[in-house]
Amino acid sequence: MESSWNKMLDRLSNWIDKAILNLPNLLLAIVIFMVALWLSKHLQSWSNKVLKKMVRQASMRSLISNVLSIIIIAIGLFVALGILNLDEVLKSLLAGAGVAGLAVGLALQGTLSNTFSGIFLAIKDVVNVGDWVETNGFAGRVIEIDLRNTKIKESDNNIVVIPNQLVLEKPFKNYGLTKRVRTSIECGVAYNSNLKQVREIAINTIKQIYPPIDNNKIEFHYLNFGDSSINFQIRFWVDAQTNLDTLEAKSEAIIALKEIFDEKGINIPFPIINLIKN
């Protein structure tokens, strides 16, 4: 009984000696981990401010700042364990993290792919909230880009939810990336029209509504001899960032051309069907 008591006292004495010897390392490990916590908190706030200039989506900024914060805390934890000479614990944590990360990655492969696709879209600034886009067979205004999906409101007010991965992998048209687009109008004039006069009048009319900028000149071409008219196409540039802007520009141009043709006596014929009664 006395021998067992002495052994327990010796072991307790050894633990106390080791604790005293490792006290500086323990204090240093605690200080390092606390510094890591402090840095992660302030880094999260600082990264949010920096990312506001690069990433417009709040969800993306939050994700990136949280990931940076977790990395700082993990580094602080690993350094603290290394100072305490807990190499086996450190190896176990790393091994466990690797296995867990692999399992989570396989289970959430689709979700993670959508998340990273969303981050890429936000950072590259190829799609932003408010842009009018055509993608995956849908067209509408982007109203939200979160960690998984891109939400588009179509012209009929329906909401389309598209996974970020599909938006990134498939071609899409973003009207918001350019401020000027070229549109065209096709029309026809009667066979007895002065074609040179028609061309001059049409170009001058469009020029007054949508003045050319730089090398964006107005193009006019006769296309073919139709059944009841000589058909032409006029192409011009307009300030537009949505499909609706383009439609409104074409509408105004058609109104202007019709008015000037009526004023100048230029006829826009329509097909005539002769019905023969037997």
Give a yes or no: residue 221 inside a domain. yes
- Same domain for 47 and 62, yes or no, is yes
The Cα-based distances of 247 to 25, 26, 181 in angstroms read 72, 71, 11
How does residue 196 score in pLDDT terms, banded at 50, 70 and 90? very high
| Helix (H) or strand (E) run with residue 38 in it | helix 2-51
Window from 17-21, 118-122, 130-134, 202-206 with minimum mean pLDDT: 17-21
Q: Which domain holds residue 198?
A: 178-264
- Residue 34 sits in a domain whose CATH number is 1.10.287
**Three-class SS state of 257:** helix
Of 209, 212, 221, nearest to 252 (Cα)?
A: 209
User: Would residue 271 count as lying in a domain?
Assistant: no
Does this model's pTM top 0.75? My answer is: no
pLDDT, mean of residues 187-204: 94
User: Do 149 and 160 share a domain, yes or no?
Assistant: yes
Is 128's pLDDT higher than 90?
no
Per the prediction, the chain carries an average pLDDT of 77
Residues 186 and 130 occupy one common structural domain: no
- What are the structure tokens assigned to 196, written together? 């040179």
Q: Are residues 90 and 6 in the same domain?
A: yes
What pLDDT is recorded for position 122?
67
Report pLDDT digits (tens) over 150-178. 889 988 889 999 888 888 888 888 887 77
Q: How many residues does the chain have?
A: 278
Residues 6+ apart with CB under 8 A from 193: 230, 266, 267
Predicted confidence (pLDDT) per residue in 61-115, tens digit: 666 776 777 788 777 777 777 776 665 555 565 555 555 554 444 444 445 677 6
Residue 19 sits in the same domain as residue 96 = yes
Domain boundary among the residues 118, 145, 176 is at 176
Domain count, the chain: 3
Output the pLDDT for position 142. Answer: 86
Q: 188 and 150 in one domain?
A: no
Q: Taking 90 as the threshold, does the pLDDT of residue 58 lie above it?
A: no
Q: Are 260 and 202 found together in one domain?
A: yes
| Residue 118 reports pLDDT greater than 50 | yes
Residue 42 lies in a domain: yes
Report pLDDT for 225. 93
- Work out the percent of the chain whose per-residue pLDDT is above 90: 26
pLDDT of residue 107: 42
Residues 239 and 170 in one domain: no
